């Protein structure tokens, strides 16, 4: 058999939860997901034309995992905005209703804000720093800078937002953030590392 791999497109994530409504509400507020179907066993949500992008299973007998951080399995899901402006607007909107990121990192490839959903699943909201998937993928494959430091630079989103609102262009802001001009007040906990 010498058949080519037909590549499917990634379609959805499926999470198990003990707090279905809280999760539905959180994904609605954070990424604009709407319920396309809900039943006793869970809910199926989407924020685009796909029938669902997030499935939430809420079967009886599910248990919290207090050691989620040290267990293997999915680390985070990620959602991408079309622009840095969209990311910053969303940061402001969420902050105004008490939803703040746990950690923010300029990965070189992306500017990424990491949130924690009600079940403590991490959700990355990001923008591609190159604005071009081909360019950022090429940089990931070939850049010595990325090979040396694939994690990147932690930053304080309020400082970055203030600089952006003061008129700093994104290209300059990117470089400054990467260079550590906007450091977070506290160093993130080790469990938060190794994110991309
Ligand atoms: Fe990621």
What is the pLDDT at residue 192?
57
What is the 8-class DSSP label of residue 98? T
Q: How far is the CA of 4 from the centre of ligand 1 (A)?
A: 28
Q: How far is the CA of 157 from the centre of ligand 1 (A)?
A: 17
CA distance 159 to 112: 15
Q: What is the pLDDT along the chain (196 residues), one digit of tens a residue?
A: 899 999 999 999 999 999 999 999 999 999 999 999 999 899 999 999 999 999 999 999 999 998 998 999 999 999 999 999 999 999 999 999 999 999 999 999 999 999 999 999 999 999 999 999 999 999 999 999 999 999 999 999 999 999 999 999 999 999 999 999 999 988 776 555 544 4
Q: How far is the CA of 123 from the centre of ligand 1 (A)?
A: 8
Q: What is the pTM of this model?
A: 0.94
Torsion of CA 36, 39, 43, 46, to 10 degrees: -10
Q: How far is the CA of 122 from the centre of ligand 1 (A)?
A: 9
Q: How far is the CA of 96 from the centre of ligand 1 (A)?
A: 24
CATH 3.10.180 fits 75-196, yes or no: yes
CATH number of 8-60: 3.10.180.10
List CB contacts of 65: < 8 A, sequence separation 6 or more: 71
List CB contacts of 129: < 8 A, sequence separation 6 or more: 106, 107, 108, 109, 110, 111, 136, 174
HEC states along 3-37?
Answer: CCCCCCCCCCEEEECCCHHHHHHHHHHHHCCEEEE
Q: How far is the CA of 78 from the centre of ligand 1 (A)?
A: 6
Q: How far is the CA of 76 from the centre of ligand 1 (A)?
A: 7
What is the pLDDT at residue 189?
60
Q: How far is the CA of 118 from the centre of ligand 1 (A)?
A: 19
Q: How far is the CA of 154 from the centre of ligand 1 (A)?
A: 14
* Helices 170-178 & 157-165 angle (0-180, nearest 10): 150
Q: How far is the CA of 121 from the centre of ligand 1 (A)?
A: 12
Name the residue ranges covered by the structural domains of the chain: 8-60, 75-196
Q: How far is the CA of 195 from the centre of ligand 1 (A)?
A: 6
CA distance 125 to 118: 16
**Two domains, one topology: 8-60 and 75-196:** yes
């Amino acid at each position: 058999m010498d058949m080519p791999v037909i590549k499917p497109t990634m379609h959805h994530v499926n999470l198990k939860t003990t707090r279905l409504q809280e999760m539905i509400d959180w994904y609605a507020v954070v990424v604009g997901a709407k319920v396309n179907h809900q039943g006793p066993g869970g809910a199926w949500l989407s924020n685009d034309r796909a029938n669902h992008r997030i499935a939430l299973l809420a079967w009886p007998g599910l248990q919290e995992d207090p050691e989620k951080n040290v267990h293997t399995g999915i680390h985070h899901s990620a959602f991408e905005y079309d622009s840095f402006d969209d990311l910053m607007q969303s940061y402001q909107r969420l902050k105004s209703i008490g939803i703040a990121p746990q950690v923010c990192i300029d990965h070189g490839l992306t500017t990424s804000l990491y949130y924690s959903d009600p079940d403590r699943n991490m959700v990355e909201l990001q923008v591609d720093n190159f604005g071009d998937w081909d360019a950022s993928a090429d940089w990931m494959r070939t850049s010595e800078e990325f090979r040396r430091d694939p994690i990147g630079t932690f930053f304080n989103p309020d400082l970055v937002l203030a600089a952006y609102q003061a008129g700093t262009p994104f290209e300059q802001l990117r470089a400054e953030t990467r260079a550590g001009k906007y450091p977070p007040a506290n160093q993130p906990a080790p469990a938060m590392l190794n994110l991309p």
